[in-house]
Chain A
């Protein structure tokens, strides 16, 4: 599934990822935890293909296909999905138009037929109902005026509709109250499958009570410094990140 090897990444001359390696198998949920500034968000952006980052060496492969020479949309069509920490508002673009454009673009890239309007409506309605997303929210422009929780639910809705092969959840828990967190986590758990890999990026162990990972990695100063089972997250919750900051130094 996802295979990152010895990745070195800088932005504006500043090194952020420094020999980062990670494997996530199909069906696996991997969590990455780490202090602020350890490079977690950069990692998610670089996998998705955000411009501005300079990859100086290393590789990112999904199912053996090199992602680094693909543009952002091509990576999405190959099955990469990033749930944003801060989803963007897009005034003037209707949510339904946006969802349909995304689904159809991916189908087209894979050489498949566009979704029919009735099928599309049916799928959106069913997925939205599970996430407590109202018809009114779907009628608004993308994320416009949505609360933090509504935006995160909309991210999970997109994930459900796009059925990615590999999804990254970047700080899904930020800005969420307990109830919203539960709804989002249930949405994510419903999408766990043998074929799909998930990378959950978070500061806090709390999210991992809801989305229980198979493996937990600790990231510091641009690389993984320790790996373990779910118990590692609990340990971090008690001891904090201070030890790891020095370990990587």
Chain B
């Protein structure tokens, strides 16, 4: 084993060394080795890999921070103090450096129909592990995650269950926040179940993160999912893999801010007839922040609906990326797919890269995409100012209105309110002042 690339970067070499060291202690050795070999053959993605064209991870990740270990007492104490900042009405599942902490998580024993386990507690022949492998598309960062991830949380929601309170996966960092963190989380909804899920990624400060979240929606189940990515690590990759059975509905949004270099990749498949997938996101970036949302939506079954609505607000030299691909194989007739990306550029030095793609092999479909980049509307600003609203406040109101539209896809009002409250707080904290 070892690096298979001709000229590995220091980071690639360090990942190889880390893997060689860690492997003897990790379960599922064969799968991990295969995953790592795939990663090592491809290396960290560069602009030459089309799907990574606008996020040059190889250039960005010069060195691989050491693997974050299982949280010690100091890390648990640190995470516990961090947890206090996240007092919200939710059923919390806490990860520290990617490791599931039962101590800090809420007690689910009284919540009938919801089964919570640590990923590391699954037997190596667990069908969930096989399912996660099967659902994973080929991608170097997903391979890296599969090679290194030691833990995460597994949530199974029983058939027909309607959860009132949202479940929140809260990813915190330990006392030494500078490591490489890998977590692998899995949420499955049984037939007809309905739930809301918040993922709050507050690992921040340092290091490197490469997390994966698998969402498996059974027949006619419904999930509202919101990812809150605020104050991210210097380099972070978030993977979301979703599969929807027939008539299932997934509404997934994200609020992204304060991320020096974030790549969110979404791989979603409408696997059963009549599934409805609604993806959105609002990214608010400044200074040299970079946020990339890249998604592949595959309509495996006929008669499915997919929508993507992504908003970017870019100040200073911030850099936004949207790549959306809708894939419709020949048998997926009556597919209805629409993709929209809109960016608001607050400075001349901000940049936005947009690449929508439609790959359609069926003949009876309605698919479309649109993209627009613009400045704040001067006429609207003048109108608001003429009523006495100072310019900065008027700009804030227009930005908020623009970004908040991404959250309208949530059907759970409390989720929408949570995101809008976050958005207002972000703007009031003066990120664009």
Q: Which residues of A contact B (CB under 8 A)?
A: 48-51, 71-73, 75-77, 81-82, 84, 87-88, 90-93, 97-98, 101-102, 105-106, 109, 141, 158, 162
Tell me whether A76 and B385 are in contact (CB under 8 A): yes
Q: Could you give 14 example pairs across A and B, Cβ below 8 Å? A: A48-B386, A49-B386, A72-B386, A73-B389, A76-B385, A76-B388, A88-B379, A90-B380, A92-B400, A97-B397, A98-B387, A102-B387, A162-B387, A162-B388
How far apart are the CA atoms of A71 and B386 in the complex, in Å?
A: 9
Tell me whether B391 and A105 are in contact (CB under 8 A): no
Q: Contact partner of B387 among A51, A76, A91, A97, CB < 8 A?
A: A76
Tell me whether A73 and B388 are in contact (CB under 8 A): yes
Q: Mark B384-414, 1 if CB is under 8 A from A, else 0.
A: 1111111101100110111011000000000
Residue of B nearest to A80 (CB): B386
B383 is an interface residue with CB less than 8 A from chain A: yes
**Range class of the B interface residue count:** 20 to 34
Tell me whether B401 and A101 are in contact (CB under 8 A): no
Tell me whether A98 and B384 are in contact (CB under 8 A): yes
Given contacts A101-B393, A101-B397, contact A88 B383 (CB under 8 A): yes
Tell me whether B382 and A72 are in contact (CB under 8 A): yes
How far apart are the CA atoms of A158 and B387 in the complex, in Å?
A: 8
Tell me whether A51 and B382 are in contact (CB under 8 A): yes
Tell me whether B391 and A73 are in contact (CB under 8 A): yes
Nearest-Cβ distance from residue B364 to partner chain A, whole angstroms: 33
How far apart are the CA atoms of A72 and B391 in the complex, in Å?
A: 8
How far apart are the CA atoms of A158 and B397 in the complex, in Å?
A: 18
Nearest-Cβ distance from residue A72 to partner chain B, whole angstroms: 4
CB-CB under 8 A from A97, the residues of chain B are 397
Nearest-Cβ distance from residue A113 to partner chain B, whole angstroms: 15
Given contacts A72-B382, A90-B384, contact A102 B389 (CB under 8 A): yes
How far apart are the CA atoms of A109 and B393 in the complex, in Å?
A: 13
Tell me whether A93 and B397 are in contact (CB under 8 A): yes
CB-CB under 8 A from A73, the residues of chain B are 385-386, 388-391, 394
B378 is an interface residue with CB less than 8 A from chain A: yes
How far apart are the CA atoms of A124 and B43 in the complex, in Å?
A: 63
How far apart are the CA atoms of A129 and B382 in the complex, in Å?
A: 27
Nearest-Cβ distance from residue B396 to partner chain A, whole angstroms: 10
Quick one: which of B378, B388, B393, B397 has the most chain A CB within 10 A? B388
Q: Contact partner of B383 among A84, A106, A109, A141, CB < 8 A?
A: A84
CB-CB under 8 A from A91, the residues of chain B are 401
Nearest-Cβ distance from residue B383 to partner chain A, whole angstroms: 4
Tell me whether A93 and B385 are in contact (CB under 8 A): no
How far apart are the CA atoms of A72 and B397 in the complex, in Å?
A: 17
Q: Contact partner of A50 among B382, B389, B401, B404, CB < 8 A?
A: B382
Tell me whether B387 and A90 are in contact (CB under 8 A): no
Please provide the 6 A-B residue pairs with the shortest distance between their CB atoms, ordered closest to farther. Answer: A92-B401, A76-B388, A72-B385, A102-B387, A106-B388, A88-B383
How far apart are the CA atoms of A2 and B401 in the complex, in Å?
A: 36
Residue of B nearest to A94 (CB): B401
Residue of A nearest to B404 (CB): A92
Tell me whether A71 and B391 are in contact (CB under 8 A): yes
How far apart are the CA atoms of A71 and B393 in the complex, in Å?
A: 14
Interface of chain B residues 280 through 316 with chain A (CB within 8 A): none
How far apart are the CA atoms of A48 and B383 in the complex, in Å?
A: 10
How far apart are the CA atoms of A72 and B378 in the complex, in Å?
A: 13
CB-CB under 8 A from A92, the residues of chain B are 398, 400-402, 404-405
CB-CB under 8 A from B390, the residues of chain A are 71, 73, 105
CB-CB under 8 A from B394, the residues of chain A are 73
Quick one: which of B379, B387, B393 has the most chain A CB within 10 A? B387
Nearest-Cβ distance from residue B296 to partner chain A, whole angstroms: 29
How far apart are the CA atoms of A82 and B383 in the complex, in Å?
A: 9
CB-CB under 8 A from A77, the residues of chain B are 388
Tell me whether A88 and B402 are in contact (CB under 8 A): no
Nearest-Cβ distance from residue A25 to partner chain B, whole angstroms: 23
CB-CB under 8 A from B386, the residues of chain A are 48-50, 72-73, 75-76, 81-82, 84
Nearest-Cβ distance from residue B209 to partner chain A, whole angstroms: 32
CB-CB under 8 A from A49, the residues of chain B are 385-386
CB-CB under 8 A from A162, the residues of chain B are 387-388
Residue of A nearest to B382 (CB): A50
How far apart are the CA atoms of A87 and B398 in the complex, in Å?
A: 16
Q: Contact partner of A90 among B378, B388, B391, B398, CB < 8 A?
A: B398
Residue of A nearest to B377 (CB): A88
Nearest-Cβ distance from residue A103 to partner chain B, whole angstroms: 8
How far apart are the CA atoms of A101 and B401 in the complex, in Å?
A: 14
Nearest-Cβ distance from residue A30 to partner chain B, whole angstroms: 20
Residue of B nearest to A103 (CB): B388
CB-CB under 8 A from B391, the residues of chain A are 71-73
Nearest-Cβ distance from residue A142 to partner chain B, whole angstroms: 8
CB-CB under 8 A from B384, the residues of chain A are 90, 98, 101-102
